[in-house]
Structure 1
Amino acid sequence: MSTDAPATPALPVTFRPTRTRIVLLAAGAGVFATITAIAVLLDRLSTGERLSFVLTAVLLSSVLVLLSRPKVVADEDGVTVVNLTSKRRLEWAQILRVNLRPGDPWVFLDLNDGTSLAALGIQPGVARAKAVADARALRALAETRGSGAHDN
């Protein structure tokens, strides 16, 4: 990342992998619609079999919705990191460093308790430039609002 100091965004701000989310939600809707249509159109299926098709569609769609859940929400008081199955609230002072190094699948937050927290809401997979910009913005917020230190 360059040494240019990015402007801090207005709060509250939500960071999420928008393209990935759109693809996952669209795929979930498509999977549900397709499997449900098959269940309705196949004449030889019993009611129980149709129901099992629909339940399978719900299950598969639910997994895709779960994968689209990650986000990072920054506000005046701190950051909320929402990952696949967990949600954690952090005060700004708890975040020492925001890291997105080459090859990282998502941002990592180094915390003042010596641990690191993955923030899946900022991931460079599909939209690398957006993820880098989001990581820089979150880093700038952490540096101005907390006890953060700059690290590439």
Structure 2
Amino acid sequence: MSEKTGTTAETTAGSGTTFQFRPRKVRYVATAIAVVFVVVFTVVAFLLRSEWTGAYFQTSDQVAMVGIGVMLAIGVLMFARSRVRADESGIEIRNLIGTRRYEWKQVEHVSFPDGASWARIELPDDEYVTIMAIPAIDGERSVVAMRELRRLKAAAK
């Protein structure tokens, strides 16, 4: 793994190298927000029974509050699981939910439109798929990843 860019290039049997990229800043922010959710909802759960609020809170209400914090944390951490893998034959994109692989012959362009938050691959009939693993917030790391994806796309022709 390149320390500066956070990319990996793995050699796989028979297919050359595989390029893999994951966001860095998004993972840090998502992890911090997830921790805050769990801590805040846990503190609120303990404070529910400490003062009279006009309602009777049970232990089950406290457990539910912690559960809500955990569920929100899991939702935020879904942003941290994004990844893109590419090789000479195609590109595999894992976003919030699910992973999908596209052969390079299906992909018309790999682009990063002006003002966009994430890169994308453009497909026929004006369709596109967002690559959440390559966010604008990662700056130079995202530029390096885009160059590599474009190089692999060009090599596949």
User: TM-score per shorter chain, which class?
Assistant: 0.7 to 0.9
Q: Which of the numbers 133, 138, 150 marks the counterpart of 2:149?
A: 138
1:3-152 matches, cutoff 5 A: 10=9, 11-40=17-46, 42-44=48-50, 45-112=57-124, 115-124=127-136, 126-144=137-155, 146-147=156-157
- The structure having more radius of gyration, on CA atoms, is 2
Please tell me the root mean square deviation across aligned C-alpha atoms, in Å. Answer: 2.2
Residues 10-56 of structure 1, C-alpha deviation per residue, up to 9 Å, x if partnerless?
A: 33232222111111012202321332244245544421111121111
- Greater relative contact order (Cα < 8 A, sep 6+): 1
Give structure 1 regions of 4+ aligned residues with deviation exceeding 4 angstroms.
Answer: none
Give secondary structure in 2 for the equivalent of 1:65.
helix
**Residue-pair matches, total:** 137
Letter in 1 for 2:140: A
Where does the alignment leave 5 or more consecutive residues of structure 2 unmatched? 1-7, 10-16, 51-56
More strand by share: 2
Does the 8 A contact of 2:107 with 2:124 survive in 1? yes
Letter in 1 for 2:154: E
Does the 8 A contact of 2:88 with 2:153 survive in 1? no
Give secondary structure in 2 for the equivalent of 1:103.
coil
Give secondary structure in 2 for the equivalent of 1:121.
strand
Give the C-alpha shift of residue 122 in structure 1: 0.8
**Normalised TM-score (structure 2):** 0.74
**Normalised TM-score (structure 1):** 0.76
Give the C-alpha shift of residue 67 in structure 1: 2.2
- Sequence identity of aligned pairs in percent? 28
Does the 8 A contact of 1:83 with 1:121 survive in 2? yes
Where does the alignment leave 5 or more consecutive residues of structure 1 unmatched? 1-8, 148-152
